[in-house]
Amino acid sequence: MQYRPLGNTGLSVSALSFGASSLGGVFREVTDSECLRTVHLSIEKGINYIDTSPFYGLTKSEIVLGKALKTVPRDTYILSTKVGRYGSQPADFDFSAPRVFSSLDESLKRLGAQHVDLLLAHDIEFGDLNQIIHETIPALRKVQKAGKVRFIGVTGLPLKILHQVVETASVDVILSYCHLALNDTSLLNLVPMLQQRGIGIINAAPLGMGLLSDRGAPDWHPASSGLREICARAAAHCRAKNASIEKLAIQYAVSDPNIATTLVSSADPQEMENNIRGANEPIDRQLLDEVLAILKPLNNQTWSSGRAENN
């Protein structure tokens, strides 16, 4: 497993990291036993960064992760959780300072932790950016000063808002999803600015939330029909070559040394072991070129998320 510096935090994170959304049963029904085995296997195989949120499974992810980490030495993993998003409806977002404070305390209790290494404002495009910059981020800094958090940051889909926050506020890390994948590399446009400021870069959803998979995008996926179709064509091309588009997508995401870490999520220990093994294997350059050529017509096509003014 490769390890890379997370901006100027002083943390060294595994190139492939564990997204704990799957522990909340957001993709399928899961059992505690398989979730615990998956977490333990991931750490044993070299993953040292684990990311969760009270939103995942409506707190189930944090609860199950807390059970899994009870027997794991605290100094062997880097832990992050989030504040601000607690559901999928507009009323389920609360980026106020009081909610930051109470949410963190609730998360720490569920996780069985005294502190988290990273605390992130979750999907800030659903909030008022003025509030995010002038209330939420200062609240994150307050809990950092209190010793409950080591570093703070924000997450979101529209790169526009990440750019705006970085230009006007002080954060240690950003988490971007669906923008460093086989079909979309637009996150790389922000890398020079982020590196200049010493901000750590976390990439998530290298499979495009299912676009780059044999199963294909789920019904709820916001991608256009054209993007769904072209990604399905790329997946079929990989199958015809007896290859896995999931493996290729993960390899592609972790191969960029400018990105500290890429989050993948699974509650299946065998699947997670395959992800780790694949990430450590050399990429098939010919297959990669062929897949990128298929995807090129809709390269960097995205979708809206959150408030209209934030897109």
Using DSSP, state whether 187 is helix, strand or coil. helix
Q: CB–CB of 162/155 below 8 Å?
A: no
- One DSSP character per residue, 117-135 reads EEEEE--GGGS-HHHIIII
Q: CB–CB of 81/19 below 8 Å?
A: no
Phi, psi for residue 247 in degrees, rounded to 5: -65, -45
- One DSSP character per residue, 259-284 reads S-EEEE--S-HHHHHHHHHHHTSPP-
Tokens at 180, concatenated: 């460093």
Using DSSP, state whether 161 is helix, strand or coil. helix
Tokens at 197, concatenated: 């400021």
Using DSSP, state whether 225 is helix, strand or coil. helix
Tokens at 121, concatenated: 């404002």
Cα 179 to Cα 123: distance, rounded to the nearest angstrom: 14
Out of 49, 56, 77, 177, which one is annotated catalytic? 56
Cα 275 to Cα 287: distance, rounded to the nearest angstrom: 18
Phi, psi for residue 104 in degrees, rounded to 5: -60, -45
β partners of residue 261: 202
Phi, psi for residue 122 in degrees, rounded to 5: -95, 120
Tell me if residue 56 is catalytic: yes
- Tell me which residues are annotated as active site: 56
